[in-house]
Amino acid sequence: MTFTPLIARDELVEGQAHKVRLDGRVLAVVLLGADVYVLSDRCSHEEFSLSLGEVDVDDKTIECERHGALFSLETGAPVTFPATQPVEAYATRQVDGFVEVDLP
């Protein structure tokens, strides 16, 4: 794995998605407790920004604001319709107050 610095951890708000652009990709970044999740910021159902949606901190999901599809923050898998395809989920780590992401 090759990790790249993404964002300072203190820029993230617990339970809210944050849009970050890195290396030509648009990513949705979510802080939940000690964990940081990074997904592709585009709903697989209809090319809409996931970072605009609500985060369910208990279920660890993010909702596409356009049609209500839920995606797992842990895996990117769709949890509800109308989405049937996953979005990319990326490995993260935290080093010296920064979130780093592995972009294959």
Q: pTM of the predicted model, to two decimals? A: 0.96
**pLDDT value, residue 47:** 85
* pLDDT computed for residue 24 by the predictor: 94
Sign of dihedral through CA atoms 95, 3, 90, 67?
positive
In this predicted structure, what is the pLDDT of residue 97?
A: 96
**More confident of the two residues 23 and 50:** 50
Query: What φ, ψ does residue 21 adopt, rounded to 5°?
Result: -105, 130
**Over 90: is that where the pLDDT of 104 sits?**
no
pLDDT at residue number 26: 98
The pLDDT score that the predictor gives to residue 40 is 98
pLDDT tens digits, 28-87: 999 999 999 999 999 999 889 999 999 999 999 999 999 999 999 999 999 999 999 999
Report the pLDDT value the prediction gives residue 46, as an integer from 0 to 100. Answer: 86
Q: What is the pLDDT of residue 21?
A: 97
| Domain count across the chain | 1
Angle at 71 between CA 37 and CA 20, to 5 degrees: 40
Here the CATH number for the domain that contains residue 21 is 2.102.10.10
The domain of 28 spans 3-102
